[in-house]
């Protein structure tokens, strides 16, 4: 099979971004419901700014910037690129309007098509790597667009749906029992090879020692988690990490982020609106604290990220329920039985899996030079690694060595849990 | 002169509301920059809800509500009308969209025209009073639309203008010196008569005793206030009320809300964008604390509200710079000399004038029965009275007995100061 | 009767201060439980600093200050006296120790006795006025010592008593029914005469117009207030001022500050420890918001401060339950029937009475010159007037014209309520 | 050499605790300056409660508790032991007084001497382990007593000293240059053996793979760190972890916790009072963020905790500047040259060394059963490991495998930094 030409891939990713927001109103795209959430409009502009800043400005001769104000407005966190607008005030940006942002996208896409048609000689490799980074970056924001608009709509008193119609997969199957798959451990290799695209935090590839362990062969379901809730999980301090219990008490958590009990029945807010809780679906929108407490209650633990990676390497392909906008069904998790094949199921897609590994540098890790070096390294503190992608992750984005990371109180991502244990 | 027919007056006020927002983008109208500020879209809907709730529902047979959700979304603070959306989350209301809200306005206007064409017999008087209240209410929100959108746009890093073109009146004249006008005091009558429309807080009319006093014959100007700033007014604890000084220290105030010093020159954010500070214009966007400290520094004091009312009664008409959208100039203050006639100038329009009177009930005051009784009485605590209207107040809205009120830290209103003293 | 010689009065007040704290541990006197509360040790030192600063330093030749650090540590809020320690960090002052503070008191008392033995000639009058101010100041802090230590001890999980033995008066009598006493109003005189000691905020004496009104002839009792609580008073938004309801919701108020329901029975924390609620006692530790909501629920209102003063002028003497430490009973309220005589009972002592008057300057009020001018005027914003003194007020301290003042959310003072109405 | 008999060891540790506080006033011991800090009195009681709860109650027949209230007051965080007083309100505990707490210590010490004189037969081993835990626990609180009282005294405006006289070691020597000591890495063993006392978080002993690295042969000094400060380290976002930079901006950090610049010269608050900054002393009171930024600025990094442990294993003994109260000098750091011997110097004592290792469970770690299992495991989230002890650590307390841990913003501990790098 021959590689997709880079311009086609560029266009495919850019189009996918806009497909995601096709059903939203201009007014939906302005709102920021918490500092972690960015308005849809901001994502549409920021991803465009990334191409303009790291590709067009340095590499396209004669490129004319769309607006002199956008570098200030749409730089996310790159200190080396200059001053920028405060993150928690993105919801105050009435201007540029959605129409202006869409025009900005057209302007940059047109320039990118010119850039990618040129032979850059000795710079071809560097440029190709930046394009790969830009594509991966835009795919990450595709997922954030979904998690952020879900948060925004959930704060509306009447909880409107982002997507019309029912979610794909609901009510069609049962998840079945959960089984353990054992691994011997020993000296293993983890981390990314140098010869294909990956983020700097995935390398260098290195050896690690694992003691014998087992992984659950599917994700924890709503049914599993409901048993924890109904057994008083949220009232039992002894199950929780100290910080987690403090959070439970301070914020009054009694269930996952989007669960609500209405007239005695559990419902869940989804991108397709408020729905009855489907017990066979993977539980999502858990914090690390909840994942850890659930594992403790289950007599198990969370996997180490190296265990997860070692287990995932037994899968032949990165298969699973990922995000394919414009196709029959919109982002939603699915029951485990749909993911077939040997070894643990649901390793990719459906829900990001919390590991018990703090997000730390691998041995001999050094950040990339320049502003793109701010991408990962400076966040290696206070966060935990998640693995495997979710139903909101773009196909082709995730891989065995991929390390996602969030602070332990994070709940607005599509984050779930797979159990592990020592054997 | 014969009274304007009520339907024409209704249409005039409703149209004026929409004229105010004609230059705004849909995205501008969603944003809430602090709990006191409501999105423009919310104001457009809330004023409409007021007509629906207090007029159409009880009085128009067969009236069909536009949406069953709007009573929850657009009730501001009427506990008797039922549960309502949290005030500080109005900026999360992406839906209804602006288009939906405009359709709501059309729906209600059409019904109101039917209601006002009917002879209601014995109910005519009650209805007429409610219409007057609704018109006054909508006019109040016209002013809030302006003060709120000014706050919203000021939080944008590039400070866009709400209105194109220059503000009316700028740079055309000088304010001239400030003179004192003396009053003998004695037993005076203040408060509103029963026989024309007024808010319940303006009555009952009653006697009060005033000792001899003088009022300044014009508002304090930017030039006057700048002398205070440059004399270290914001660094001199002894000039300030204790609460005011705490505020200055906590928030780092060094000038009125919308002043900024750029490259050594003072500028002011206005509804027409960022502009050089005009020294002849009345100073606006002062808190009570700043008004009080300025008065102390001036060797004077703020007027008592009864002194102000007694002084205003010497004017023959409610003249001054009020808000006339769609006419040549948009809301902006003007220098004092434009306001002519005998007695103190600028008593009406330009800037609300802080008085030193805490907002309290007049003797024998009782709130109106029913939900409209929540309009005023429950706010009689922790606020100060302002008098005279501003350049953002609708013509015909303000009168000699009119009592506006805000907490002493409030700065986002068009609030200024007139000095007074004992003689 | 001849006036008490000033040195004896000085010694009497100073001794009374120390009598109040005789039962406390050194450790009790260090603690600050909220910014409004000062540690006992701080009060003992601050009152001493007042004498040193305003009397000894300017008037006693050769006076040697006790410590060069104390001006910084024990200045409360006098900006003109210089920099000072942050109010909300008084609980961090381990040093000086209690023993050091007691030695400071001895040092200053000894110097004061020398000062008061000297004939100061032309300065005698000024000095005498400052001594009166110092005595009144120390008496105010005597009351604060009691309210503050009550707050401190109430935050201990086992709620220890400040004073051994039962409170005086408990369980001995019933309060009896509440009756109305009518007043005609008209032009009345209020405020203090120049010829005897008073705080500057009590003057100038001036005329006011009152319309006919009635005052309740006793304070509201725990029994009265309990009926409000049990009728859902704390759940009925319509009874509350807007700010008050916000406070109820934010802080979860369900009863007066020191009430607690234990095993279905109401108890009250007192300076004598946790006790069963006595229904005949005046209700105390109410905020203005609660006083106002109770009055609304009762179909009455709070008195205007001028009404209260006019009513109090009908009493022949300032009689009532005030604070007499060292005598048979410690500070505690008493039932109404103990206070006899004509006119309204319990006007003085027992509980400070919230009026509906915002704390504002009287006509032609000017603060005293110099640092003592910071005593009152700068607080005339955001507070309400209370009248009549409490069971923690020193005898001889309060008078008919006396204006106490606190912000409306204040509950840790001995504050109660007397009803009023228009007639 | 024969082991110290356990009762003598018990008495030695208990006496050392009281020696530490001999110079403090009762009032010093009540104060809590932030939630992380406990009052000295609380430490004195809590350590005593630990013996009472885990040793005397279960093992000494007929033991009579000192007070029924103390289990509530002095339980720190053991959920299994029952309800407890809020951590951030320990500064409100005026009672029990210091005298009461000292009597509590005598009561428990007397009972412990009886308990330790008994032969418990089959329970001897369990008991011995609990005694070791109790001793280690009390030693940990000895260090906290010092770090906490340092914080308390530093908040006094006149910064009093905890200990009279000069700190030992000041000004006597220079630290000399810093050299690198290389290590080959490979498969190494880390963690504690089962056969001697250690905390559960130090085990199980396990294999790890290290790549070649070097450790600095001494701690970073004030001189080293001052160069970072003066080079604009606190203003260079690019040197900092993202969370660290947020902290710098939010709290305005410009130097280590106890440094202050007075009249152009750097001073440092110590337990011996305010002193000129000694450039040869190890820098202390750094957060993880500051340690990390300094390492980045130095072109180095922080050690992994396994690297540190591997390097420390080259030392023959746990030597260094630890806390020996009652001896010639009180807790203070010393220059590096005093610590001699082969391999890296200052590995033990002087300052806890931040590692870049998040505090995580070792492979196959399980918390101890029962309430003592709450000692470590529930804190394995959001913290970083520090190694090697400080000048405030009891001799005999620390060891090669010892893992201390604190959140990355922590600065009030005696925390410093040793550099590492890949080779």
pLDDT, residue C328, reads: 43
Note the pLDDT tens digit of each residue in D363-380. 999 887 777 777 788 999
Q: How many residues does chain A have?
A: 423
Under an 8 A CB cutoff, do B92 and A158 touch? no
Q: How many residues does chain B have?
A: 423
Instruction: Identify the burial level of A23 via C-beta atoms within 10 angstroms of its C-beta, where 0-12 means exposed, 13-18 middle and 19 or more buried.
Output: middle
Under an 8 A CB cutoff, do D242 and A208 touch? no
* CATH architecture classification, B180-422: Alpha-Beta Complex (3.90)
pLDDT, residue D111, reads: 97
Shortest CA distance to B118 belongs to which of B56, B60, B66?
B60
Name every residue whose Cβ is closer than 8 Å to that of residue D177 and which is 6 or more positions away in sequence. Answer: none
B107 to each of A128, B49, B64, D186, how far by Cα in Å? 57, 11, 10, 79
The two structure tokens encoding residue B42: 């919310």
Note the pLDDT tens digit of each residue in D163-207. 887 665 555 567 888 999 999 999 999 999 888 889 999 999 999
Residue in C closest to D154 by C-alpha? C92
Among the ranges given (A163-172, C49-58, D196-205, D409-418), the one the predictor scored with the smallest mean pLDDT:
A163-172
Residues D6, D128 contacting (CB under 8 angstroms)? yes
| Chain D interface with A: residues with Cβ < 8 Å | 77, 79-80, 187, 206-211, 237-238, 240-245, 288-289, 292, 304, 356-358, 360-361, 363-364, 374, 378-382, 408, 422
The two structure tokens encoding residue C273: 């420890």
Picking from B27, B85, B92, the nearest residue to A33 by CB comes out as B92
| Chain C interface with B: residues with Cβ < 8 Å | 77, 79-80, 187, 206-211, 237-238, 240-245, 288-289, 292, 304, 356-358, 360-361, 363-364, 374, 378-382, 408, 422
Three-state DSSP at C291 gives helix
Residue B179 CB coordination number (10 Å): 12
Confidence band, pLDDT 50/70/90 cuts, at residue D121: confident
Is residue A170 predicted with pLDDT exceeding 70?
Answer: no
Q: How, if at all, do strands A259-262 and A213-216 pair?
A: unpaired
Is residue D135 predicted with pLDDT exceeding 60?
Answer: yes
Name every residue whose Cβ is closer than 8 Å to that of residue C323 and which is 6 or more positions away in sequence. Answer: C142, C143, C146, C331, C390, C391, C392, C393, C394, C395
Look-up: residue for tokens 């809301």? B331
Residues C421, C214 contacting (CB under 8 angstroms)? yes
Picking from D211, D289, D364, the nearest residue to A211 by CB comes out as D364
Confidence band, pLDDT 50/70/90 cuts, at residue A212: very high
Under an 8 A CB cutoff, do B30 and A30 touch? yes
Q: How high does pLDDT run on average in chain D?
A: 91
Shortest CA distance to B310 belongs to which of B398, B188, B404, B192?
B188
Q: Cis check for the bond before B365: say yes or no (omega within 30 of 0).
A: no
Residues D308, D344 contacting (CB under 8 angstroms)? no
Look-up: residue for tokens 């234990």? C262
SS3 for C26-90, per residue?
HHHHHCCCCCCCCCHHHHHHHHHHHHHHHHHHHHCCCCCCCCCCHHHHHCCCCHHHCCCCCHHHH
Tell me the sheet residues that pair with B354: B386
Tell me which chains share at least 3 CB pairs under 8 Å with chain A: B, D
pLDDT, residue C171, reads: 54
More confident residue, A86 or B43: B43
HSE, side-chain direction, 13 A CA sphere, residue A184 = 3
Residue in B closest to A24 by C-alpha? B94
Cα–Cα distance measured from residue D291 to residue D130, given in angstroms and rounded to the nearest whole number: 35
Shortest CA distance to D158 belongs to which of C94, C43, C38, C45?
C94
Q: What is the average pLDDT across A288-298?
A: 98
Q: Do chains D and B touch (3 or more CB pairs under 8 A)?
A: no
Low-confidence ranges of chain C (pLDDT < 70): 1-4, 166-173, 325-331, 337-342
Under an 8 A CB cutoff, do C360 and B356 touch? yes
- Between the two ends of chain D, the Cα-to-Cα distance in Å is 42
Under an 8 A CB cutoff, do A95 and B26 touch? no
Instruction: Identify the burial level of C119 via C-beta atoms within 10 angstroms of its C-beta, where 0-12 means exposed, 13-18 middle and 19 or more buried.
Output: exposed
Cα–Cα distance measured from residue D93 to residue C156, given in angstroms and rounded to the nearest whole number: 6
ipTM: 0.94
The two structure tokens encoding residue A75: 């730089």
Query: Distance, in angstroms, between B301 CA and closest chain C CA?
Result: 10
**Angle at which helices B6-20 and B40-51 pack, to 10 degrees?**
170
Under an 8 A CB cutoff, do B92 and A156 touch? yes
The two structure tokens encoding residue A92: 């105050």
D319 to each of B60, B227, B360, C223, D349, how far by Cα in Å? 92, 68, 74, 71, 7
Is residue A1 predicted with pLDDT exceeding 50?
Answer: no
HSE, side-chain direction, 13 A CA sphere, residue A195 = 0
Sign of the C-alpha dihedral, residues D290, D295, D301, D302? negative
Query: Distance, in angstroms, between B24 CA and closest chain A CA?
Result: 10
User: Which ranges of B191-287 would DSSP assign to H, the alpha helix?
Assistant: 222-230, 242-251
Chain B hits for A90, Cβ within 8 Å:
none
Note the pLDDT tens digit of each residue in A399-409. 999 999 999 99
Total beta-carbon pairs less than 8 A apart between chain C and chain D:
76
List of E strands, A98-177: none
pLDDT, residue B82, reads: 76
Query: Distance, in angstroms, between A302 CA and closest chain B CA?
Result: 36
Cα–Cα distance measured from residue B131 to residue A1, given in angstroms and rounded to the nearest whole number: 75
D15 to each of B303, D20, D105, D330, how far by Cα in Å? 70, 9, 10, 16
pLDDT, residue A328, reads: 43
pLDDT, residue C1, reads: 40
Under an 8 A CB cutoff, do B95 and A160 touch? yes
Which pTM does this prediction carry? Answer: 0.94
Backbone angle region of B410, left / alpha / beta, with phi > 0 → left and psi within -120 to 50 → alpha: beta
Low-confidence ranges of chain B (pLDDT < 70): 1-4, 166-173, 325-331, 337-342
Under an 8 A CB cutoff, do D155 and C89 touch? yes
Under an 8 A CB cutoff, do C27 and D92 touch? no
Picking from C93, C153, C157, the nearest residue to D156 by CB comes out as C93
pLDDT, residue C401, reads: 97
Picking from A94, A97, A155, the nearest residue to B156 by CB comes out as A94
Q: How high does pLDDT run on average in chain A?
A: 91
Cα C261 to its chain centre, rounded Å, is: 27
Tell me which chains share at least 3 CB pairs under 8 Å with chain D: A, C
pLDDT, residue C330, reads: 57
């Amino acid at each position: 099979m021959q590689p997709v030409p880079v311009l086609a891939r560029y266009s495919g990713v850019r189009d996918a971004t806009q497909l995601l927001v096709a059903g939203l109103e201009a007014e939906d795209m302005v709102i920021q419901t918490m500092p972690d959430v960015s308005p849809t409009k901001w994502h549409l502009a920021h991803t465009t700014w990334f191409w303009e800043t790291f590709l067009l400005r340095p590499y396209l001769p004669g490129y004319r910037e769309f607006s002199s104000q956008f570098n200030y407005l749409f730089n996310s966190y790159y200190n080396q690129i200059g001053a920028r607008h405060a993150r928690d005030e993105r919801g105050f940006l009435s201007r540029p309007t959605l129409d202006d942002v869409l025009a900005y996208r057209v302007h940059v896409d047109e320039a990118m098509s010119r850039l990618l048609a040129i032979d850059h000689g000795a710079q071809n490799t560097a440029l190709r790597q930046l394009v790969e980074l830009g594509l991966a970056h835009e795919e990450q924001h595709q997922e954030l667009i979904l998690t952020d608009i879900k948060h925004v709509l959930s704060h509306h008193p009447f909880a409107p749906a982002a997507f019309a119609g029912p979610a794909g997969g609901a009510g069609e199957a049962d998840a079945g029992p959960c089984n353990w798959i054992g691994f011997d451990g020993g000296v293993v290799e983890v981390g990314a090879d140098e010869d294909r695209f990956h983020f700097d935090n995935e390398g260098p590839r290195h050896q690690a020692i694992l003691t014998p362990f087992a992984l659950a062969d599917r994700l924890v379901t709503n049914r599993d988690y409901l048993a924890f809730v109904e057994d008083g999980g949220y009232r039992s301090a002894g199950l929780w990490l100290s910080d987690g219990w403090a959070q439970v008490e301070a914020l009054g958590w009694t269930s996952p982020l989007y669960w609500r009990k209405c007239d005695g029945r559990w419902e869940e807010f989804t991108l397709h609106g408020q729905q009855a809780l489907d017990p066979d679906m993977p539980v999502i929108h858990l914090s690390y604290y909840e994942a850890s407490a659930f594992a403790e209650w289950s007599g198990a633990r969370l996997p180490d990220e190296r265990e997860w990676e070692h287990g995932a390497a037994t899968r032949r392909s990165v298969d699973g329920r990922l995000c394919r906008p414009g196709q029959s069904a919109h982002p939603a998790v699915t029951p485990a039985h749909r993911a077939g094949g040997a070894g643990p199921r649901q390793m990719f897609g459906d829900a990001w899996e919390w590991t018990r590994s703090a997000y730390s540098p691998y041995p001999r890790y050094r950040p990339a030079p320049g502003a793109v070096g701010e991408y990962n390294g400076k966040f290696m503190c206070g966060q935990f690694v998640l693995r495997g992608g979710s139903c909101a992750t773009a196909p082709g984005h995730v891989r065995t060595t991929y390390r996602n990371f969030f602070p332990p109180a994070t709940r607005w991502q599509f984050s779930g849990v797979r159990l592990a244990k020592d054997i």
